[in-house]
Each structure stands twice: as C-alpha cells, then as structure tokens.
C-alpha cells in the first residue's frame, strides 16, 4: 500500500486516539512533605500545569522507576532559576509530586539518597490502587491538587 494511502487510512484513528487521550487526565497529588516545602513557593495551579506538561513528555530527565525530574518556574524568575521537582509519573491513577528543591539550595542537584528514597516512595504510590490512594488522601499523607479541571 502506498504511503499516502496508508497515512489517509490511519489519520482518523490517530485523531480519535488523540481526542480520547486529551479527555483523560490523571489525578495529581503532592505528598505532605512536598506540600510543606512548596508552600509559598509554588501554587497548585503551577503544579497542575507542570503535571500536564509531564503527561505530554515535557520534563528534563527520566530517572527510572517511573520517576522524572521537572523544573517549574517560580513567578518572576522563569525556568532557569526555577525549582526542581522529582515526580512519579507512571501510575495509571495519578501523578505524584514527591520532592522539591530550589536551584539556590546548596549542592548542584538532588542527592543520590533523595533520588533513591523518591524512587521507593514513587514505586509504592504507583502500584497503589485508587482505593489506597483515596485512603492516603483521607489520612493526610497525600493532597489531591487537581483532576479534570487542570
């Protein structure tokens, strides 16, 4: 089959899958520790925007185990002087903001210990059922920051 015919035949299915994907949005959560760190620095709206970018594959580094590093601009500073976050992104049920640091913090990046701990916590959260996630929200371990509205 010629390439043009193949493309024409598949365009409707590609467009339909894009529509389905754009309608489905994951729930977005932050841990209690992340929430304390981000208070006064990052808003939930900024985190929701960052989560949407992560879902589109727009993040700085893939760290393995479903963990990625994402820079989030602080108002008035842009991304270059931005915060750095570690985010668990592979769960079918949500995206989880786990750890954050400012560029101005001592050291050049997240320590290996921080990354390893985030991988362990992220792996556990990514394997959790929706019921377990809801229980963690009720217990105050997680805070849901956006769902369909972002």
pLDDT at position 147, please?
65
Report d(CA 143, CA 140) in Å as an integer.
7
Record the pTM. Answer: 0.79
pLDDT at 82: 82
User: How would you label 23-58 residue by residue, b for 16+ Cβ within 10 Å and e otherwise?
Assistant: eebbbbbbbeebbebbeeebebebbbebbbebbeee
Q: What is the pLDDT at residue 134?
A: 95
Please name which of 44, 29, 8 lies closest in space to residue 91, comparing C-alpha atoms.
29
Residue ranges of the chain with per-residue pLDDT less than 70: 1-24, 77-80, 147-150
């Amino acid at each position: 089959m010629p390439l043009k015919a193949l493309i024409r035949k598949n365009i409707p299915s590609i467009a339909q899958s894009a529509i389905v994907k754009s309608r489905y949005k994951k729930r977005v959560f932050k841990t209690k520790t992340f929430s304390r760190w981000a208070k006064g620095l990052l808003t939930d709206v900024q985190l929701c925007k960052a989560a949407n970018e992560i879902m589109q594959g727009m993040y700085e580094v893939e760290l393995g185990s479903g963990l990625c590093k994402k820079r989030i601009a602080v108002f008035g500073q842009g991304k270059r002087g931005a915060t750095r976050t570690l985010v668990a992104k592979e769960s079918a049920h949500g995206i989880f903001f786990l750890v954050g640091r400012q560029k101005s913090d001592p050291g050049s990046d997240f320590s290996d210990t921080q990354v390893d701990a985030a991988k362990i916590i992220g792996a556990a959260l990514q394997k959790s059922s929706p019921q377990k996630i809801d229980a963690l929200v009720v217990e105050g371990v997680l805070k849901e920051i956006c769902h369909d509205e972002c």
